[in-house]
């Protein structure tokens, strides 16, 4: 295909006369080349994405443990889902923690990103930005282990600092009220840098003229923020709301390392619950059914994300 067009130098003229996305109709069908370019991805996709996805659907109709090849049980696993009170509780704690992490990221992230816009020396801005971001690249298990020290009830630094403010010791990791709060703190601490950076990129895409015009018109910083920055930033905010929701629904390492999901199920996430059913109880069929409910949640969240991102392209 490619050689045939090189025989006709005129094809180049066509491209110059008509640049841009709509492809010249003269050459179509890069079939063989496309196949070569796509084969590695397609192979990996078939074996490690599509097969397991089909597998999760299939397994959910089976009673399957690791020792025997299992028996077909129809919709039994889904019936169990409906009567699994722990599942509902785990979805509750997952949602609670996810929403709280979302709120911290979206609100505190915006505050810090806006404050970073203040005039300051380059190195200082760089220092702030990098220190906010650093935990994001450190593994969740290392982060959670550090915080396990810091949140220790009797010896931890956090309770010591609270003690200085005359606040009684809190049982961060051992009480069902504070265990999820610990997961929220640790995960937000790790991920807020991501939100800040996305906000910074969003803020930089706002044309300066708008803000300067507002300054000329005598608008104060407060008014400028609510009348100009905030509305123009709304697509970024929407994006962060959805991406943070999706990410925080998938949390596994923090509760695993900090609290093992306890006490009770107070800080257990759905991924942890699925993991325990599958690799603790070897109840693979039921774990797959849980996986399907989780996939449905993610599909809904992702659909919302795409809906918003379409809105966003509309904006700019």
Partner 1 sequence: MSTRLRPGHLAARVLTFLVLAVAALAITAPFLWIFRGAFSGSDAELYRLPPTFHAENLTVRNFGLVAEQVPYFRFFLNSIIVSGTVTAAQLITCSTAAYAFARLHFRGKGVLFAVVIGSLMIPIQVTIVPLFLVMSKIGLTNTLWALILPGIFSAFGIFLLRQHFLSLPRELEEAAKIDGAGRFRTFARVILPLSGPSIATLGILCFTYWWNDLLLPLVMISDTERQTLPVGLVLLAGRFSTGSLGTIAAGIAMAIVPVLVVFIAAQRYIVQSIASSGLKL
Show contacts with partner 1 in window 77-106 (CB under 8 A).
none
In the complex, what is the shortest distance from the CB of residue 127 to partner 1, in angstroms, rounded to a whole number? 7
Q: Toward partner 1, which CB reaches closer, 37 or 230?
A: 37
In the complex, what is the shortest distance from the CB of residue 141 to partner 1, in angstroms, rounded to a whole number? 4
- Among 72, 160, 226, 315, indicate the residue that binds partner 1 (CB under 8 A): 160
| Token pair in block for residue 284 | 């693979």
Q: What are phi and psi of 72, to 5 degrees?
A: -70, 125
Please check whether residue 247 is in contact with residue 191, taking contact to mean a CB–CB distance below 8 angstroms.
Answer: yes
With binding defined as CB under 8 A, does residue 214 bind partner 1?
no
With binding defined as CB under 8 A, does residue 110 bind partner 1?
no
| Token pair in block for residue 214 | 């507002």
In the complex, what is the shortest distance from the CB of residue 108 to partner 1, in angstroms, rounded to a whole number? 8
List the one residue out of 27, 52, 96, 53 whose CA is nearest residue 266. 96
Q: Toward partner 1, which CB reaches closer, 75 or 221?
A: 221
Give the number of other CB atoms < 10 A from CB of residue 222. 8
Parallel, antiparallel, or unpaired for β 62-63 and 71-72? Answer: antiparallel
Report in angstroms the alpha-carbon separations of 44 from 31, 58, 292. Answer: 20, 20, 22
Q: Toward partner 1, which CB reaches closer, 82 or 216?
A: 216
Taking residues 36 to 65 in sequence order and writing x for each that binds partner 1 by CB under 8 A, - otherwise, the string is: xxx-xxx-xx-xxxxxxxxxx-xx------
Maximal C-alpha separation, the chain: 84
Which residues from 249-308 bind partner 1, rule CB under 8 A?
Answer: 250, 252-253, 256-257, 271, 274-275, 278-279, 284, 287-288, 291-292, 294-295, 298-299, 302, 305
Please check whether residue 73 is in contact with residue 61, taking contact to mean a CB–CB distance below 8 angstroms.
Answer: yes
Report in angstroms the alpha-carbon separations of 170 from 26, 147, 151, 161. Answer: 72, 14, 9, 11
Q: Toward partner 1, which CB reaches closer, 173 or 271?
A: 271
Which residues from 128-157 bind partner 1, rule CB under 8 A?
Answer: 128-142, 145-150, 152, 155, 157
With binding defined as CB under 8 A, does residue 127 bind partner 1?
yes
Which residues of the chain form beta strands (DSSP E)?
62-63, 71-72
In the complex, what is the shortest distance from the CB of residue 301 to partner 1, in angstroms, rounded to a whole number? 9
Which residues from 223-242 bind partner 1, rule CB under 8 A?
Answer: 236, 239-240
CA dihedral 80, 85, 90, 91 (to 10 degrees): 70
In the complex, what is the shortest distance from the CB of residue 282 to partner 1, in angstroms, rounded to a whole number? 10
């Amino acid at each position: 295909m490619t050689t045939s067009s090189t025989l006709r130098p005129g094809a180049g003229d066509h491209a110059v006369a008509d640049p841009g996305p709509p492809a010249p109709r003269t050459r179509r069908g890069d079939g063989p080349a496309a196949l070569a370019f796509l084969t590695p991805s397609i192979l990996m996709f078939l074996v490690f994405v599509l097969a397991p996805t089909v597998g999760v659907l299939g397994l959910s109709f089976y009673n399957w443990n690791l020792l025997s090849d299992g028996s077909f049980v129809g919709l039994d696993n889904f019936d169990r889902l409906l009567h699994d009170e722990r599942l509902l509780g785990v979805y509750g704690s997952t949602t609670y923690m996810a929403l709280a992490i979302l709120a911290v990221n979206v609100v505190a992230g915006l505050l810090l990103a806006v404050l970073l816009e203040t005039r300051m020396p380059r190195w200082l801005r760089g220092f702030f930005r990098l220190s906010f971001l650093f935990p994001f690249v450190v593994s969740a298990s290392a982060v959670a282990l550090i915080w396990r020290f810091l949140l220790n009830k009797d010896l931890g630094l956090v309770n010591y600092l609270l003690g200085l403010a005359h606040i009684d010791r809190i049982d961060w990791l051992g009480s069902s009220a504070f265990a999820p709060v610990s997961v929220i703190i640790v995960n937000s601490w790790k991920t807020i840098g991501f939100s800040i950076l996305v906000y910074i990129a969003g803020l930089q895409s706002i044309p300066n003229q708008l803000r300067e015009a507002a300054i000329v018109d005598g608008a104060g910083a407060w008014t400028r923020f609510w009348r100009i920055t905030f509305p123009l930033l709304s697509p970024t905010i929407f994006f962060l709301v959805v991406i943070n929701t999706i990410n925080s629904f998938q949390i596994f390492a923090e509760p695993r390392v900090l609290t093992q999901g306890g006490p009770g199920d107070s800080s257990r996430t759905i991924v942890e619950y699925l993991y325990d059913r599958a690799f603790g109880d070897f109840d693979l069929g039921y774990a797959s059914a849980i996986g399907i409910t989780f996939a449905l949640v993610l599909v809904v969240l992702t659909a919302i994300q795409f809906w918003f991102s379409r809105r966003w392209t509309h904006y700019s």
